[in-house]
Amino acid sequence: MTVITKARRYMLLLFFFILIATGNGLSSSLEPGWVLVWADEFDGAGLPTPAWWTFETEGNQWGWGNNEAQFYTDSRLANARVEDGRLIITARAEPMGDKEYTSARINTRKIGGWRYGRFEARMRLPSGRGIWPAFWMLPVDNFYGGWPSGGEIDIMEFFGFMPDNIYCTIHTSAYNHRRGTQKGSHLKVRNLHDEYHLYAVEWFPDRLNFYVDDEKVFSYEKTEDHPAVWPFDQHFYAILNCAVGGDWCYRMGGIGDTSFPQNLEVDYVRVYQWNDGNPHTLLVTTTEGGRVSYEKKAAYAPGEEVRLRAEADPGYKFLYWSGGLSTVHEKETTMMMFHDTAVKAHFVPEAEMLKNGDFELELLAWNRWVDAEAAAAEFSTDQGALRVDVNRPGKHDWQVQVTQAVPLAKGKTYTVSFAAWARRRRQITVRINQNHPPYAAYAYQAFTIDKEKKIYNFTVTIDKDDADSRLEFDFGEGRGPVWLDNVSMRKETE
Ligand SMILES: [Ca+2]
Ligand SMILES: [Ca+2]
């Protein structure tokens, strides 16, 4: 379920007012326009609710980009448990994998994320050098590419080597810590470890305001209508974790003799949407191949729930939503009207294996990679097509590549087609290959493309089963911009 039902919401609201009435540590200054749409009060016992929370472990191999010292476990009570009305994430000094510490990192991505709203968590923080708890947000769909292009919202970060300081930060492709240009601020807060404090961000279409309790720490404004500056127009999900170590920590003297275990205690996470009191319009469109049924109205009351059901025509399948719903949302879903909203349902022919082959959703579903020691390239979308600017060609075509994962079945025939053009006549290569080392090719073909946009295709029968393979476009052998559009890969049906 993606959105809580009316009854559940009413209960939450009631609960919320009772808390205000009893003065139970809640921000008393919460403006009445905020409507609670989702919450986890952590009232149960055991693991955090599996329907809402996913344990993240895939970065254990590579240290999550910061050489972090912990091994995040999956569904292990010793590292994440709900107890006495709280979530407790525990960092422990114990070897696991090739790490010396264990901990947990959980996210709400499977709910589908939220666009705009107030996101808050009431938390009591662990302490000690090397301890790095965070409450933060990442995009559900990488429309603008991987980190940092998609954006990151750090509602609360605490670094054990900087006692009493809470950091609020945003990262985008123009402003990020890799460049040392991230935007943010910090606030001195007392009793971070003995008392609960409320950490919140209020996210509007044109600004992000960060708070600790009632105090505003930082505000980031949309100064330019460009995703490099403002990628915050997509759905984001929440993350809670307690990291240990990390590059900044090592530069500041390391983990030292901090005592373990250390607990991050979370009383609740709540998500609100802003009710501006106005009715809102809903525009529903579809691609070819299906329709959407819902109750059509000229305007919807603020907060009104609209049930949407996408239905594919014969020979087509539903792929995902875009606009007011993220691609995680099911084909039958409910949305609440807090903004004028446009939603689009995407359908493709049943035999189609690719997502976003028309680049209508920017770079969604496409992976980009450059062998940075040999070549340099930038990827963007340009008038609805993929644009690859090869600034420094490599020795090999595969040193600049765009890929999408596809499963292959032995004995099946596949047809790849695409439109391509380039500023100067050149070659590109299309490969169907392993999506894992040693990236062996099952099939490949080189194409000569020129200034004129043309459609190319090739058909191949694959002699192996491989669930983890991919379609790969290689651009590394020529300089200058290349465009790609309407990419399709279809499995021949008997
Ligand atoms: Ca609670
Ligand atoms: Ca297109």
- If one counts the domains in the chain, the total is 3
- Whether 212 maps to a domain, the answer reads yes
134 and 197 fall within a common domain: yes
Q: What is the pLDDT of residues 440-472, one digit of tens each?
A: 999 999 999 999 999 999 999 999 999 999 999
**Mind giving me the DSSP string for 211-242?**
EETTEEEEEEE--SSSTTT--TTS-EEEEEEE
- Whether 354 maps to a domain, the answer reads no
- Is pLDDT at 201 greater than 50 in this prediction? yes
Q: Position 246: which residue type? A: G
142 and 196 fall within a common domain: yes
201 and 255 fall within a common domain: yes
Q: In the prediction, which pLDDT does 245 show? A: 96
Name the closest ligand to CA 487. Answer: 2
- Give the residue-averaged pLDDT of 232-245: 97
Name the closest ligand to CA 381. Answer: 2
CA of 86 to the centre of ligand 1 (A): 5
344 and 425 fall within a common domain: no
390 and 468 fall within a common domain: yes
- Whether 358 maps to a domain, the answer reads no
Q: What is the pLDDT of residues 66-80, one digit of tens each?
A: 999 999 999 999 999
Cα–Cα dist 312/348, whole Å: 9
287 and 334 fall within a common domain: yes
339 and 375 fall within a common domain: no
Q: In the prediction, which pLDDT does 145 show? A: 86
Q: pLDDT above 70 covers what percent of the chain?
A: 94
- Is pLDDT at 16 greater than 90 in this prediction? no
Letter string b/e over residues 9-44, b meaning 16 or more CB atoms within 10 A of that residue's CB = beebeeebeeeeeeeeebeeebeeebbbbbbbbbee
- Whether 100 maps to a domain, the answer reads yes
342 and 261 fall within a common domain: no
CA of 84 to the centre of ligand 1 (A): 8
Q: In the prediction, which pLDDT does 5 show? A: 41
CA of 87 to the centre of ligand 1 (A): 8
Return mean pLDDT, the chain: 93
Q: What is the pLDDT of residues 94-150, one digit of tens each?
A: 999 999 999 999 999 999 999 999 999 999 999 999 999 999 999 999 899 888 999
- Whether 360 maps to a domain, the answer reads no
Q: pLDDT above 90 covers what percent of the chain?
A: 89
Q: What pLDDT band is residue 10 in, cutting at 50, 70 and 90? A: very low
Cα–Cα dist 323/364, whole Å: 13
**Boundary of a domain, candidates 274, 304, 329:** 274
Side by side, the strands of the sheet bearing 441-449 are 367-370, 400-408, 466-474, 426-434, 441-449
Distances (CA, A) of 278 to 38, 177, 281, 299: 21, 39, 10, 9
Q: How many CA atoms lie within 13 A of 6 on its CB side?
A: 5
- Whether 291 maps to a domain, the answer reads yes
Handedness of CA 272, 278, 279, 285 (dihedral sign): negative
Name the closest ligand to CA 356. Answer: 2
Q: In the prediction, which pLDDT does 11 show? A: 45
236 and 316 fall within a common domain: no
Q: What pLDDT band is residue 7 in, cutting at 50, 70 and 90? A: very low
Say which CATH number the domain at 211 has.
Answer: 2.60.120.200
Which structural domain, as residue segments, surrounds residue 236? 6-274
CA of 357 to the centre of ligand 2 (A): 8
374 and 342 fall within a common domain: no
3-state secondary structure of 274: strand
CA of 255 to the centre of ligand 1 (A): 30
CA of 55 to the centre of ligand 1 (A): 20
CA of 333 to the centre of ligand 1 (A): 28
**Boundary of a domain, candidates 274, 293, 324:** 274
322 and 411 fall within a common domain: no
Cα–Cα dist 29/193, whole Å: 23
CA of 483 to the centre of ligand 2 (A): 10
Name the closest ligand to CA 267. Answer: 1
**Boundary of a domain, candidates 349, 378, 400:** 349
- Give the residue-averaged pLDDT of 300-317: 97
Lowest-pLDDT choice from 24-33, 190-199, 289-298: 24-33
Q: In the prediction, which pLDDT does 28 show? A: 52
Show which residues are catalytic: 152, 157
- Whether 319 maps to a domain, the answer reads yes
Give Rg (Cα) of the chain.
24
Name the closest ligand to CA 25. Answer: 1
- Is pLDDT at 266 greater than 70 in this prediction? yes
- Give the residue-averaged pLDDT of 348-372: 96
Q: In the prediction, which pLDDT does 1 show? A: 31
- Is pLDDT at 389 greater than 70 in this prediction? yes
Q: In the prediction, which pLDDT does 61 show? A: 87
- Whether 53 maps to a domain, the answer reads yes
Say which CATH number the domain at 392 has.
Answer: 2.60.120.260
373 and 401 fall within a common domain: yes
Residue 420 near residue 454 (C-beta atoms within 8 A): yes
